[in-house]
Amino acid sequence: MKRRVAITGIGVISPIESGSGLDAFWQGLISGKNAITEVSSFSTDGFDTHVAGSIKGLAAKDGARWLDIVEFAFNTAVKDARIDASAINGINLGT
C-alpha cells in the first residue's frame, strides 16, 4: 500500500543564498540579488556562455547527484515544516 505524503514546508535549491536558509533566500530574492557569475569551477571553453548560477556548497560536493540535491531540498522542507523526521521514516527517495 502506498502512502501519500504532504510536506507543508519549503525547501529551496537556488544560487541565491543557497544553504543559508529560507529567510536568507527570500531576502536575496526580494532585494533583487543577482547570483549569476562567471563560472570558475570548470573550464567553459567550447561553451556558448561562461556565466551560470552555481549552487555553492552542494555543487562542490564530490559526486553530487541530482538525487542528493532533491534530498537536500526535501530535508530542508521537513525542517521548515517542523516535522519530526522519525515520523516519516520509510519514505524512499529512490536511493
Q: State yes or no: pLDDT of 95 exceeds 50.
A: no
> Which residue has cell 523526521?
85
pLDDT digits (tens, 9 = 90+) for 2-60: 877 776 788 888 888 766 777 888 898 899 999 899 988 789 999 999 999 877 666 55
pLDDT-derived band at 83 (thresholds 50, 70, 90) equals confident
**Which DSSP category does 52 fall into?**
E
Are 58 and 18 in contact by the 8 Å Cβ rule? The answer is yes
pLDDT for the residue numbered 47: 95
Q: What is the pLDDT of residue 94?
A: 47
DSSP lists the bridge partners of residue 38 as 51
pLDDT for 72: 77
Q: Give residue 67's pLDDT.
A: 75
Structure confidence at residue 18 (pLDDT): 66
Q: Whole-model pTM above 0.95?
A: no
